Structure 1
Amino acid sequence: MSAAVTLALLFFWSVALNEQVTEGCRCLPKHPQQQFCASDIVIRAKVIGTVPSTLPQLTAYRIQTIQTFKQLDKKIFQVIYTSQTSCGINLENGEYLLSGPVKDGRVVVNLCDRVEPWNQLSRVQKMYLSRYQSGCVCEISPCTGASCLIEIPQKKCLIRVNNSFSLDDEEALQSICLPGSDGFCRWRKFLK
């Protein structure tokens, strides 16, 4: 295989793995820090229940924000939306970590966003929520096989994926990618 073909294939896979692809509702897995950095809003909120939706094809949930980890504007959201298609999510009353985009002044989440019951997050995951923002200058890139062994200083951290494109790097999943004093990004663990 020529170097040009190999390079083209590596570029294709790099782009394919870095983008959140939705085929129906199949999304490539992302490190929690990637989801945090890609989201417009990340909050701990209590879902109070459904309310009548003013938008067709969307289900509306009334929420009460408990804690804000990231928010692009200072608007207080009292309602979040999700699609009524197969990509939508079903929320029960209770506390959640909600993260996703803000579109036209509304939070609209789906299966590709990070929406998890608060009590199912580990202590480490909860602790990292207040630290992820400082790592958003770093890129987290998937790697497979020998490409994961590359240890040259760079502005990204590598995370292993397996053949089914699921994350296969427990060490990275328990770490945060942060820039060092030299400007290069590395996986780091913080213990409380």
Structure 2
Amino acid sequence: MSRSRCVALLLLVLCGAAEFAEACSCSPEHPQQAYCNADVVIRAKVVGRKEVVTGNDVYGYPIKMIQYDIKQIKMFKGPDGEIDTIFTGPSSALCGVNLENNGKKEYLITGNMDSNGTLRINLCDYIESWESLSMTQKKSLGQRYQMGCDCKVVQCPMIPCSINDPTECLWTDWVLEGTVQGTQAQHYTCIKRSDSSCAWYRGSAPPTKEFMDIEDP
């Protein structure tokens, strides 16, 4: 093989690897923001796993996906009726999510529906074991997170950082605690007040009228 062909092949391989890396490049989301952005939010166990072909790409090659069969425990957000299957990529390089499928572990799963009404998940979705969630997070799923969907949680990746709009809340867990599962993620919700600005609220119960009317967080 000539040197020029070797260089071209190497560039093709590197570009392909970069494309896979870029495909799964995503910023972490505060659980409230993940809830608001998702079509579906459920608590479920995975009871089965198999590789399936869901169609063909533009070149005629089969599109392979992993199908998880699930037992839905509770739906916090989503369509009417139970969801019994979810689909993800066949590998982490293709943003696939690896879940335990022995029916013992419970997950909080967020994802989006495709045009065929199929729930798909990927590495950018908020998927956590149910037992790892704080009590505040568990109680916030539904009404309390929904109250904050007119607000936007903005991650602070490095200091200095700031918000650009009064409807934003600055999420500082990473820069202050070195984790995206810090105090704000586990115990706070960004909620709109009567003046249309948003502020952090701590607690598992819906905020009181006094909080909604206050001018400063």
Distance 1:140 1:50, change over 3 A: same
Q: 1:81 aligns with which of 60, 84, 87?
A: 87
Distance 1:142 1:52, change over 3 A: closer
Taking the TM superposition and a 5 Å limit, the aligned residue runs for 1:143-162 are: 143=156, 144-148=158-162, 154-160=166-172
RMSD of the alignment, in Å? 2.6
Q: Which structure has the greater CA radius of gyration?
A: 2
Hey, what does 2:150 align to over in structure 1? 137
- The reply to whether residue 180 of structure 1 matches residue 193 of structure 2 is yes
Conserved 8 A contact 1:45-1:66: yes
Taking the TM superposition and a 5 Å limit, the aligned residue runs for 1:1-192 are: 23-51=22-50, 53-55=52-54, 56-71=63-78, 73-86=79-92, 87-92=95-100, 93=102, 94-104=105-115, 105-130=117-142, 131-143=144-156, 144-148=158-162, 154-160=166-172, 170-173=182-185, 174-191=187-204
TM-score norm. by structure 1 comes to 0.75
Please, which runs of 5 or more residues in structure 1 have no aligned partner?
1-21
Q: Cα deviation per residue 1:58-113 (whole Å; 9 max; x = unaligned)?
A: 01011121111111x32432110110132111111331111011112111111111
- Structure 1 residue ranges (4+ consecutive) displaced by more than 6 angstroms after TM superposition: none
How much has 1:183 moved relative to structure 2? 1.7
Q: Give the secondary-structure state (helix, strand or coil) at the position aligned to 1:112.
A: coil
Hey, what does 2:213 align to over in structure 1? none
Letter matched to residue 96 of structure 2:
G
* Whole-angstrom distance in 1 between the partners of 2:181 and 2:86: 32
Matched-pair identity in %: 37
* Whole-angstrom distance in 1 between the partners of 2:65 and 2:180: 34
Conserved 8 A contact 1:30-1:167: no
Conserved 8 A contact 1:29-1:167: no
Please, which runs of 5 or more residues in structure 2 have no aligned partner?
1-20, 55-62, 206-217
Q: Give the secondary-structure state (helix, strand or coil) at the position aligned to 1:176.
A: strand
How much has 1:125 moved relative to structure 2? 1.6
Q: Give the secondary-structure state (helix, strand or coil) at the position aligned to 1:182.
A: coil
Conserved 8 A contact 1:153-1:185: no
